[in-house]
């Protein structure tokens, strides 16, 4: 069944403001908890996924996203799991594209592992997407297999090329893993420079039980940047994408290198984001458990008034920031839910 294509006549409003004066203009939506990879910092290998009845339908996802757009959200990012493995996902993406045409939405984009891009790249561009993020931590096929457990690098690289050929601007996201992909970052910087891609490095975050010791994986990006600066000329950039990355121009390649540092330097003071899970839970912070169940509201009322009221009430509870800590003495994950459930 195709996603809803009608748009409420309710006019757009100013962005909802949280208790700390931050305008909420960015919604990240996990459309599925399922993925065709099992990345070692994201999922356990023997993941148990949610039953279908607990997942928002495509119509329901469209309805909630559209309510946020009317309430001042200007950027929608679809995530997972892997968003492109959700059956019928293009129905949702094509439906949400109407908000780009109306001018209510500035950007519709997604974060993907790249495995399905060869199939979907042209359709994504036709739906109005102009920029995507691809998660890729290494260009070494053997290490890629080890990190993703189930992935194939050649398939991902073909997908990235298809996205580039379709006209999509690509940013590569790489998680910095100490003792794992230390030797890969220079190669990624050079490759992204050659291909015309931006590259963003991300610190590993303590979310979910994945059967790995994150304290062993954790590699502070302050140390990474100092190391890279010995070989690359990094000049601070004023480039912004609406997300938390701090960007530098790489003089040798002409490309950009971003750093997302939730552990060594959190970016909570400027947070403009909330996250919707595929089950309809609205999380106000990636690193806190404050949340609101929008699924029950959507399924209980045909009108969007109660939904918009629930969104306003939830954002009124948005915390100031997260409490991420990586410590050998703190064995449980700081946040028990997996990143794939929340939306990366």
Rounded CA-CA distance 296/304 in Å is 13
Residue 120 CA, chain-centre distance (Å), reads 18
Count Cα neighbours of 320 within 13 Å in the Cβ-side half-sphere.
1
What integer pLDDT is reported at residue 208 of this predicted model?
A: 46
Q: What string of DSSP letters covers 76-101? A: EEEESS-GGGSTTHHHHHHHHTHHHH
Q: What is the pLDDT of residue 286?
A: 67
Confidence class of residue 42 from pLDDT cuts 50, 70 and 90?
confident
Residue 40 pLDDT > 50, yes or no?
Answer: yes
Percent of all residues in the chain with a pLDDT value above 90, rounded to a whole number? 67
pLDDT reading at 84 higher than 80: yes
pLDDT for the residue 73: 97
What is the distance between the alpha carbons of residues 333 and 326, in angstroms, rounded to a whole number?
8
Catalogue all structural domains in the chain, each as residue range(s) with its CATH number.
22-342 (3.20.20.70)
Supply 328's token pair: 């050998």
331 or 53, which is more confident? 53
Residue 49 corresponds to which tokens in the numbers above?
């996924």
23-24 vs 16-17, strand pairing mode: antiparallel
List of residues 6+ apart from 64 with CB closer than 8 A: 29, 56, 276, 280, 294, 298, 307
Tell me: the pLDDT tens digits for 299-315? 999 999 999 999 999 99
| Residue pLDDT, tens place only, 249-303 | 999 999 999 999 865 445 567 788 899 999 999 998 866 677 899 999 999 999 9
**How much is the CA Rg of the chain, to the nearest whole Å?**
19
Do 250 and 234 contact (CB within 8 A), yes or no? yes
Q: Over the stretch 159-210, which tens digit does the pLDDT of each residue have?
A: 999 999 999 999 999 999 888 998 999 999 999 999 999 999 998 865 444 4
Provide CB contacts within 8 A for 336, sequence distance 6+.
208, 209
Its pTM stands at 0.86
Q: pLDDT value at position 287?
A: 62
| pLDDT value of residue 4 | 46
* Two tokens, residue 14: 């100013």
Q: Measured between alpha carbons, how far is residue 74 from residues 37, 67, 110, 213, 295 in Å?
A: 30, 12, 14, 37, 22
Q: Pairing state of beta strands 255-260 and 246-250?
A: antiparallel
The confidence band for 343, taking pLDDT boundaries of 50, 70 and 90, is low
Pairing of strands 26-30, 23-24: unpaired
Q: List, in order, residues 6 or more apart from 150 with CB less than 8 Å away.
A: 36, 37, 38
At residue 210, the pLDDT reads 41
Please state, in angstroms and rounded to a whole number, the distance separating the CA atoms of residues 57 and 72: 23
How far, in Å, CA of 183 to CA of 231, rounded? 13
Average pLDDT of span 115-139:
98
Distance CA 33, CA 49 (A): 7
Please state at what angle helix 305-315 crosses helix 58-70, rounded to 10 degrees. Answer: 70
Across the range 64-76, mean pLDDT stands at 97
Average pLDDT taken over every residue of the chain: 86
- Residue 288 pLDDT: 67
* Stretch (H or E) spanning 131: strand 131-135
Each residue's pLDDT tens digit, 200-239: 999 886 544 445 555 566 778 999 999 999 999 999 999 8
Q: How confident is the model at residue 139 (pLDDT cuts 50, 70, 90)?
A: very high
What was the pLDDT predicted at 215? Answer: 58
Band of pLDDT at residue 328, cut at 50, 70 and 90: very low
In this predicted structure, the answer to whether residue 3 has a pLDDT above a threshold of 50 is no
């Amino acid at each position: 069944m195709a996603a809803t294509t009608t748009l409420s006549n309710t006019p757009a409003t100013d962005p909802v403001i949280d208790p700390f004066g931050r305008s909420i203009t960015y919604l990240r939506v996990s459309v599925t908890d399922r993925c065709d990879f099992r990345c070692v910092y994201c999922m356990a290998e023997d993941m148990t996924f949610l039953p279908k009845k607990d997942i928002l339908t495509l119509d329901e996802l469209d309805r909630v996203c559209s309510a946020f757009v009317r309430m001042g959200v200007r950027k929608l990012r679809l995530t997972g799991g892997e968003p492109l493995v959700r059956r019928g996902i293009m129905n949702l993406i094509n439906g949400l594209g109407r908000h780009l045409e109306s001018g209510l939405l500035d950007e519709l984009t997604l974060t993907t592992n790249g495995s399905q891009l060869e199939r979907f790249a042209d359709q994504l561009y036709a739906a109005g997407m102009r920029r995507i993020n691809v998660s890729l931590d290494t260009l070494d096929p053997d290490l890629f297999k080890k990190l993703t457990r189930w992935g194939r690098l050649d398939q991902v690289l073909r997908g990235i090329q298809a996205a580039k050929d379709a006209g999509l601007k690509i940013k590569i996201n790489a998680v910095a893993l100490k003792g794992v992909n230390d030797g890969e970052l220079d190669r990624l910087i050079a490759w992204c420079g050659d291909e015309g891609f931006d590259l963003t490095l991300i610190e590993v975050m303590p979310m979910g039980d994945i059967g790995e010791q994150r304290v062993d994986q954790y590699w502070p990006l302050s140390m990474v940047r100092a190391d890279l600066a010995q070989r690359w000329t990094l000049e601070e950039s004023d480039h912004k994408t609406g997300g938390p990355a701090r960007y530098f121009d790489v003089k040798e390649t002409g490309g950009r290198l971003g750093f997302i540092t939730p552990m060594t330097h959190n970016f909570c003071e400027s947070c403009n984001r909330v996250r919707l899970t595929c089950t309809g839970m609205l999380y106000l912070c990636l690193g806190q458990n404050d949340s609101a169940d929008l699924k029950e509201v959507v399924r209980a009322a045909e009108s969007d008034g109660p939904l918009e009221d629930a969104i306003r009430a939830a954002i009124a509870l948005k915390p100031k920031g997260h409490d991420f800590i990586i410590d050998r003495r703190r064995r449980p994950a700081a946040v028990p839910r997996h990143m794939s459930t929340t939306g990366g």
